[in-house]
Amino acid sequence: MLQPGEPRQRRFSKTKKGSKNRVKFRNKLARKHLKVSRQRKDFAVKTARCVVQSHDLVAYEDLKVRNMLKNRHLSKSISDAAWTQFRQWVEYFGKVFGVVTVAVPPHGTSQNCSKCGEVVKKSLSTRTHVCPHCGHTQDRDWNAARNILEIGLRTVGHMGTQALSYAEGLIASGDINLEFGWRNPSG
């Protein structure tokens, strides 16, 4: 898999074994890796805290990243480590700030119409969801986000009465936060 800074890795491989240059390069590489991993962690923490603190419930796809990495079309755009780390921070801040976080199975989230529920088959390259049944047209990811949220709210409903009344409160209030695909399931 292509990693940021790979040319550096390649240059390192060309240095002579046991040479001073190789040692120097190895140290340089290690520092670069450390920097990238710190930046990644920083980003994950900040983004996760921001997402959790500005919402009452966070629903996300329970992605099997390992399976996706096996697909070479997908592997370019996902980093196993980055997603797993971000998700862990979301769950952590959820506990800290008392915000419900729920992972939903990804089945059908991108193929179903978030307005009428009909299945609208589309390939990965189709970026816009256009429903022939109800006419609903929306960005592919946005449509998926609405499905994920609805499943998330339903799942929370099965978790217990406290969580249920909480989810019902959210639905009743009609809170719509378009940024993250919030919607009133009746609308």
- Which residues in this chain contact Zn ion in the complex, by CB under 5 A? 113, 115-116, 131, 133-134, 136
Q: Is residue 153 within 8 Å of 171, Cβ to Cβ?
A: yes
Could you tell me the smallest distance in angstroms from the CB atom of residue 148 to Zn ion?
16
User: Coil, helix or strand for 125?
Assistant: coil
User: Smaller CB distance to Zn ion: residue 8 or 136?
Assistant: 136
Bridge partners for 77 per DSSP: none
Residue 121 Cβ, how far from Zn ion at the closest point, in Å?
13
Provide, rounded to whole angstroms, the least separation between the CB of residue 155 and Zn ion: 22
Tell me the three state secondary structure of residue 124.
coil
CB closer to Zn ion, 28 vs 133: 133
Residue identified by tokens 């370019």 is 76
Roughly how many angstroms between the first and final C-alpha of the chain, as a whole number?
A: 43
Residue 50 has, within 13 A of its CA and on its CB side, a CA count of: 8
CB of 113 to Zn ion, least distance (A): 3
Smaller CB separation from Zn ion, 72 or 121: 121
DSSP codes joined into one string, 21-57 = HHHHHHHHHHHHHHHHHHHHHHHHHHHHHHHHHT-SE
State which residue, 100 or 113, has the beta carbon closest to Zn ion: 113
Distance CA 14, CA 64 (A): 36
Token digits of residue 151 = 């499943």
Beta-carbon neighbour count of residue 73 at 10 Å? 9
Q: By C-beta, is 100 or 131 nearer to Zn ion? A: 131
The distance of closest approach from Cβ of residue 130 to Zn ion in the complex, given in angstroms and rounded to an integer, is: 9
Contact in structure between 102 and 109 (CB atoms under 8 Å)? no
Q: How far is the CB of 13 from Zn ion (least distance, A)?
A: 52
Pick 22 or 136: Cβ nearer Zn ion: 136
